[in-house]
Structure 1
Amino acid sequence: MVLEDNMKQLKIMVVCGFGLGSSMVLKLTLDGVLKEAGIKAETFCSDEATSRGERFDIVFTSQPLVHLFANIKQPVIVISNFLSKDEVRTKGLEIIRQLSED
């Protein structure tokens, strides 16, 4: 695996209701996908209330919270199974690569 050093390091926010349990599970899954793909990114967890004041390039969340991000310009990736590397890879990896190259 070769890390892609010429890519911009993104800030990826992972959001759940309280910013602890399910967002941490999704963050760990996302971190694994990024590592396997050789992409460097800063991933961090946030809760429903705090997420509005955070700076980020892309957000991963669940369907019940997607309404929080209805008026933002950054991509919002909705994940159903927070343990599924395949779902994270399929829904988010190409968008992450595109943003990293901008």
Structure 2
Amino acid sequence: MKILAVCGLGQGTSLILRMNIEDVLRELGVDAEVDHMDVSAAAAEKADMIVASPQLAPLLAGHKAKVVVVNSYLNKAEIKKAIQENL
């Protein structure tokens, strides 16, 4: 499984989200490749799941991956719940 952590510029915020997703996946015992990038790059990237904010999710409409929306990239409980609901 490939998961993308997405933010507007693909720099710091998506990296924080990526680390939190990796922590959650370890906790859940799920093996996945997690990468971080900007929303434009993610639109062209192959993935199974994309985690993005409510503001960025519409830009990924039509992508073959499941687009999972989280409000806070820092809230591991929210990230965990969103990922569990979309596995």
Q: TM-score, normalised by structure 1?
A: 0.79
Cα-Cα RMSD: 1.1
Alignment of 1:1-102 (within 5 A): 10-96=1-87
- Greater Rg by CA: 1
C-alpha displacement of 1:79: 0.8
How many residue pairs were aligned?
A: 87
2:65 is aligned with what amino acid?
A: Q
Moved over 6 A (4+): none
In structure 1, C-alpha distance between the alignment counterparts of 2:30 and 2:79, rounded to whole Å:
14
Q: Deviations over 1:21-76 (max 9, x none)?
A: 11111111110000011111000011122112111001000111111111123211
Secondary structure of the residue aligned to 1:92 is helix
In structure 2, C-alpha distance between the alignment counterparts of 1:32 and 1:40, rounded to whole Å:
11
Q: What 5-or-longer segments of structure 2 have no aligned partner?
A: none
Aligned-residue identity in percent: 33
Q: What 5-or-longer segments of structure 1 have no aligned partner?
A: 1-9, 97-102
